[in-house]
């Protein structure tokens, strides 16, 4: 009797301990969100979103940073989504589950997902700018410096390497939800394997590809480290017009404004406003991805 009573107390304690851990984490999320929401919501106006920084970045808006972020994620998606989708197709449709090649590719994908983002930045600098860019300048422009320096193209490509595993994982999950019977039916009707994939499997998993794209975009919009030295700029008076231009980005804007501007206190509203915009952007993207994914899983169960 006494023993079971002690046990009960222990049980309650342990359940309480684990529950409070979960609640602490949720509290952290809520507090972070609330602080940024409250700090930033008054700053948000149409003008803030659509005008350029003024007076040495102490006033004005963040339009170039929004524009640069949008451009970056579009270019990144153009590179990452097709390659990620094709890799996922190979893994689910062509490779045998336990073949060495499939295992090696899966390992590589997971490694790509855990490599620190700053390493991608170094790689972008060493490979895209120093190696590819310099070669391009020498071959096409006779040594004139155009591609051998940081720009939005190299930054987007660097970013696409970082988001590649995100795309691969989501698309793979979606491809697996396409029922085997559909594939078998298509093959039985005389379609070739490629026709089956193109006409049956891909349309069936289009929402998964969309989820992957959204998640990749949300990741890329928030990352700063990979583009620190592959193309991002502190302040630009003009919007990037070509692929060889530098650009501004929301995340980097937050970083420089909060750590390196001359008067941090004066620009505080702008910092909170920018953080608010970035957080809202990633929040909305992630939320829609979660909903999409939930629907895919539900379809699978039905």
Site for another protein in 50-69 (CB under 8 A): 56-57
> Are 165 and 80 contacting, i.e. CB atoms less than 8 angstroms apart?
no
Should residue 14 be labelled a site residue for another protein when binding is judged by CB under 8 A? Answer: yes
Should residue 161 be labelled a site residue for another protein when binding is judged by CB under 8 A? Answer: yes
247: three-class secondary structure by DSSP: strand
Should residue 243 be labelled a site residue for another protein when binding is judged by CB under 8 A? Answer: no
Dist. CA 239–CA 237, nearest whole Å: 7
User: In the block, which residue shows the tokens 């410096």?
Assistant: 145
Q: Please select the residue that binds another protein; options are 51, 207, 258, 288, rule is CB under 8 A.
A: 258
Q: Please select the residue that binds another protein; options are 26, 74, 141, 206, rule is CB under 8 A.
A: 26
Dist. CA 292–CA 289, nearest whole Å: 5
Should residue 115 be labelled a site residue for another protein when binding is judged by CB under 8 A? Answer: yes
Contact stretch for another protein (CB under 8 A) within 43-51, 141-149, 170-178, 201-209? 141-149
Q: Please select the residue that binds another protein; options are 2, 17, 100, 237, rule is CB under 8 A.
A: 17
Contact stretch for another protein (CB under 8 A) within 42-50, 70-78, 124-132, 205-213? 124-132
Which residues, numbered 265-284, are part of the site for another protein (CB under 8 A)?
Answer: 268, 271-272, 275, 278-279, 282-283
- Name the DSSP letter for residue 27: H
7-13 LR contacts (CB < 8 Å, sep 24+): none
Cβ within 8 Å of residue 150, ≥6 positions away: 125, 129, 229, 230, 231, 232, 246
Should residue 126 be labelled a site residue for another protein when binding is judged by CB under 8 A? Answer: yes
Residues facing 232 on adjacent strands: 247
Which residues, numbered 175-204, are part of the site for another protein (CB under 8 A)?
Answer: 187, 192-195, 197
């Amino acid at each position: 009797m006494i023993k079971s009573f002690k046990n009960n107390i222990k049980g309650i304690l342990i359940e309480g301990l684990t529950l409070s851990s979960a609640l602490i984490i949720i509290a952290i999320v809520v507090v972070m969100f609330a602080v940024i929401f409250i700090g930033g919501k008054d700053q948000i106006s149409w003008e803030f979103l659509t005008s350029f920084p003024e007076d040495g970045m102490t006033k004005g808006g963040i339009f170039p940073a929004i524009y640069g972020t949008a451009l970056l994620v579009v270019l990144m998606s153009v590179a990452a989504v097709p390659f990620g989708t094709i890799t996922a197709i190979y893994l689910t449709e062509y490779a045998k589950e336990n073949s060495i090649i499939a295992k090696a590719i899966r390992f590589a994908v997971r490694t790509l997902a855990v490599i620190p983002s700053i390493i991608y930045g170094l790689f972008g600098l060493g490979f895209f700018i120093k190696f590819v860019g310099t070669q391009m300048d020498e071959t096409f422009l006779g040594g004139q410096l155009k591609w051998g320096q940081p720009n939005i193209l190299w930054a987007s490509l660097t970013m696409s390497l970082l988001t590649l595993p995100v795309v691969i994982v989501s698309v793979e999950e979606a491809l697996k939800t396409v029922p085997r019977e559909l594939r078998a039916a298509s093959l039985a009707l005389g379609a070739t394997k490629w026709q089956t994939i193109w006409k049956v499997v891909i349309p069936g998993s289009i929402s998964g590809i969309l989820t992957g794209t959204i998640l990749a975009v949300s990741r890329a919009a928030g990352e700063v480290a990979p583009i620190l030295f592959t193309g991002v700029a502190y302040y630009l008076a003009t919007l990037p017009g070509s692929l060889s231009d530098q650009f501004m980005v929301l995340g980097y804007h937050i970083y420089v404004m909060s750590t390196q501007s001359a008067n941090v206190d004066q620009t505080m509203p702008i910092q909170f406003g920018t953080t608010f915009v970035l957080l809202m952007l990633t929040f909305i993207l992630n939320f829609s991805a979660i909903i999409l994914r939930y629907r895919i899983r539900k379809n699978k169960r039905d």
